[in-house]
Amino acid sequence: MKHLNRFIKFLYKIKLIRVFLYKFIQKKKYKNFIGLKLDQKSVFLYYVANVGDISQCILDLYDCNIYCYEPNDYAFKVLKKRFNNYEKVTPINKSVGDKNDKTNLYYHKLHHENPLKCSTGSSLLEQKGNVDKKNYQITEMVSIKEILNQFDYINLIKIDIEGYEYNILPEIIKNKNKIGKVICELHGSSPRKNKFLNNKYLEIIKILNDIDQKNKWFKYHH
């Protein structure tokens, strides 16, 4: 029995070490990825934050002010609980768009199998190929213009809203001078997968190439 207990403790220690190393590597990786120095007074906006893994990473690195927008009710429940005792993190159960309104948030096609895991695939965009048009929740949308007007300066904005980014990027670009950096996942790079999104993708890439040729202000990935 003693040997078994020792072995269990040994496995537990290995697990803790693995978790520590994983978090350390992730923090270093993300610090290099954003390529921006933040401090305790910095403002970080994130749409959508899901369950808060990246927000936690930024908080641990910089202890800055974080505003997490997450419209999916399943993910927001976890997000809110996670940051319940953090004064510098504000979870907001709303979607971000081009107007103030009520709108549909379409669930991923596999939502019924695992609602939380599939929450990352939720989208405001009905045309997105992996959503179920008949399965959705009603969410409150707040306009990106209203959000930007709340701040004198925003150090970093991260966007991952499953194809709806093209509805808010024009306003963000218009306010370029009050935003330090934008990191965004752009959907629709392949015309074979979604022609509608591909047209939006090509339009925004052209605009970005004109205003940010060296990709220093706007960093995107697919």
Instruction: Please report whether residue 117 resides in a domain.
Output: no
Instruction: Please report whether residue 46 resides in a domain.
Output: yes
Residue 205 has pLDDT above 80, yes or no: yes
Instruction: Please report whether residue 113 resides in a domain.
Output: no
In the chain, the number of structural domains is 1
Range of the domain at 183: 35-96+144-221
Q: pTM (2 decimals)?
A: 0.86
Q: What is the pLDDT of residue 11?
A: 44
User: pLDDT for 78-91, tens place per residue?
Assistant: 999 999 999 999 99
User: For position 201, which CATH number holds?
Assistant: 3.40.50.150
User: pLDDT for 51-108, tens place per residue?
Assistant: 999 999 999 999 999 999 999 999 999 999 999 999 999 999 999 999 999 999 999 9
User: pLDDT for 149-202, tens place per residue?
Assistant: 999 999 999 999 999 999 999 999 999 999 999 999 999 888 777 888 999 999
Does residue 170 sit in helix, strand or coil?
helix
* DSSP string of the chain, one letter each residue: -HHHHHHHHHHHHHHHHHHHHHHHHHHHHHHHHH-----TT-EEEEE--TTSHHHHHHHHHH--EEEEE---HHHHHHHHHHTTT-TTEEEE--EEESSSEEEEEEEETTTTT-TTGGGGG-BS-TT-TTEEEEEEEEEEEEEHHHHHTT-S-EEEEEE--TTGGGGTHHHHHHTGGGEEEEEEEPP---TTT-HHHHHHHHHHHHHHHHH-TTSSSEEEE-
What's the rounded mean pLDDT across residues 128-157?
96
110-114, long-range: CB < 8 A, 24+ apart: 111/135
Instruction: Please report whether residue 126 resides in a domain.
Output: no
What's the rounded mean pLDDT across residues 140-151?
98
Instruction: Please report whether residue 78 resides in a domain.
Output: yes
